[in-house]
Amino acid sequence: MTAPVRGDPTIVKVALGTRSYDIVIGRGLLASLGARIAALRPGAKAVIVTDDNVARYHLEPAEAALRHAGVASSRVSVPAGEASKSYRVFEQVCEAVVASRIERGDLAIALGGGVVGDLTGFVAAVVRRGVDYVQVPTTLLADVDSSVGGKTAIDSAHGKNLIGAFHQPILVLADTALLDTLPEREFRAGYAELVKYGLLGDADFFSWLESNWRDVFAGGPAREHAIAESCRAKAAIVARDERETGDRALLNLGHTFGHALEAACGFSDRLLHGEAISAGMALAFEFSARRQGLLPMAEAQRAIRHLAEVGLPTRIKDIPGPLPAVDQLMDLIAQDKKVKRGMLTFILVRGIGSAFIEAGVDAREVRVFLSEKLAER
């Protein structure tokens, strides 16, 4: 696998019948935002939804791109962070969108990471019973995961992402240069979701990342290539299973352990989502190898080694601060995944690039494994 030289953007199609759309990936694409929107929806006006961090760097260039193409726009900015996926901020953004006279033929633009993308997508799903929206991801996580696939949501007091809708964007514009302003820790956390596509279904892509990850971080052509490969993988899964009745669950590799650790850290800065998923994937590989005998431990170690090499946490002891005891972690897992007759559904692996859904994982096995891991602290 070789990375393309810099030049034309890469286009990945998400094939969903009348709801199909393009993911356009390349460096410096933001300047083409207005022209692309004008071509898709002639005469439409737009409201840009963003957050206060992203606004500082990228809002004015986005507005200029719209203006140059004759697309009228307004803006609404929300505080940065997960707390903006709340009823209160949702209401504020809905009201701002309505006040800016966005009609059925107009559109919303999500300029930001997964928080802005999820919030804007949900607002777009419900304002005037649904308006179109465009994703302009500004984090690596949003490039490869949240901006693709049409899951939109805000959070409930009972848990994350519980209030939402499936609503596909009409375009994803992934300008890889927008990531240059992203804090390195956020970039690295997003990289965990990117590696996930190699680990779950594409051993060649994983090998390529082992050799080229430094250029992905540095922002060279490898960054575009890695994002495009990830989007292809996600688009293929979403096209097969838009509403997660089957295969789409493979995208949850590392997420059962990961969510439990994330929740144990109170969804705080102690452990970012991608960091939790890195540790979760490492645990899923080790669990598959050592407790399920599905692959040699050496192959699991290869997966874990790469995550560690880029600076991601792979062991429970990499997580700073106190963690609850095994029973509480098991409770957190059970909250996330229903336990049916003592059995959990897990994404396990038979090797790098071959994940599968296993509905019959014995919760006792998981408990024994987790207590061993906690004891290593």
Ligand X SMILES: NC(=O)c1ccc[n+]([C@@H]2O[C@H](COP(=O)([O-])OP(=O)(O)OC[C@H]3O[C@@H](n4cnc5c(N)ncnc54)[C@H](O)[C@@H]3O)[C@@H](O)[C@H]2O)c1
Q: Which residues are catalytic?
A: 129, 151, 193, 234, 244, 248, 252, 255, 259, 273
Judge contact between 74 and 129, C-beta under 8 A.
no
Q: Which of 25, 54, 127, 235 binds ligand X (CB under 6 A)?
A: 54
Q: What minimum distance in Å lies between the beta carbon of 133 and ligand X?
A: 12
Pick the binder of ligand X from 31, 35, 44, 57 (CB under 6 A).
57
H/E element, 347: strand 343-351
Confirm if 196 and 277 have CB atoms less than 8 A apart: yes
Task: Say which residue the tokens 């960054």 belong to.
Answer: 223
Is residue 311 within 8 A of residue 343, CB to CB? The reply is: no
| The binder of ligand X chosen from 28, 81, 159, 360 (CB under 6 A) | 81
59: number of Cβ within 10 Å: 18
Encoding tokens for residue 254?
Answer: 């590392």
H-only helix segments in the chain: 33-40, 52-54, 60-68, 87-99, 114-126, 140-141, 184-201, 203-218, 221-240, 255-264, 273-286, 297-309, 326-336, 363-375
Quick one: which segment of 76-84, 220-228, 323-331, 355-363 binds ligand X (CB under 6 A)? 76-84
Could you count the other beta carbons within 10 Å of the beta carbon of residue 163?
17
DSSP letter at 340 equals B
- Give the contact letters, 181-210, x = binds to ligand X (CB under 6 A), - = no: xx---x------------------------
| Contact string 132-171 vs ligand X (x = CB under 6 A) | ------xx-xx--xx--x-x--------xx----------
Among the listed residues 45, 75, 85, 188, the single contact to ligand X using CB under 6 A = 85
Minimum CB–partner distance for residue 178 and ligand X (Å):
5
Q: How far is the CB of 238 from ligand X (least distance, A)?
A: 9
Closest contact distance (angstroms) between CB of 306 and ligand X is 20
Q: Does 118 engage in binding with ligand X (CB under 6 A)?
A: yes
Of 149 and 351, the one with the shorter C-beta distance to ligand X is 149
Q: Which residues of 312-342 are buried (b: 16+ CB within 10 A; e: fewer)?
A: bbbebeebeeebeebeebbebbeebbeeeee
* Residue 268 binds to ligand X (criterion: CB under 6 A): no
Token pair for residue 13? 């199609």
115: contact with ligand X by CB under 6 A: yes
Residues that bind ligand X (CB under 6 A): 51, 53-54, 57, 80-82, 85, 112-116, 118, 138-139, 141-142, 145-146, 149, 151, 160-161, 178-179, 181-182, 186, 273
